[in-house]
Amino acid sequence: KKKWDTSEVKAVEKHLYTFIKSCRVPGKKECEDCIKAEPVALKDRDWLAVKFFVKNRITSLKK
């Protein structure tokens, strides 16, 4: 388990913000597209890590 740094958070928010805003969890394709679009920032993350990051972000917004 590795803490998300600022560049990783910004990269995911930039590409998957619409999912966070609409409280929808992205699928595998959307997560992989995000990683391909930000290969430097997200080089150590797989698509599941990105998906769970968005899921946890949505959960924290609901509280």
CB 11 within 8 A of CB 34: yes
Average pLDDT over residues 10-31: 97
Categorize the per-residue pLDDT at 45 as very low, low, confident or very high, splitting at 50, 70 and 90: very high
The per-residue pLDDT of the chain, averaged, comes to 96
pLDDT at residue 1 greater than cutoff 90: no
Residue 36 lies in a domain: yes
User: Which two tokens mark 37?
Assistant: 């679009």
CB 8 within 8 A of CB 39: no
Domain encompassing residue 31? 6-62
Residue 1 lies in a domain: no
How many domains would you assign to the chain? 1
* Among 53, 7, 51, CA closest to 29: 51
Residue 10 lies in a domain: yes
pTM of the complete model: 0.93
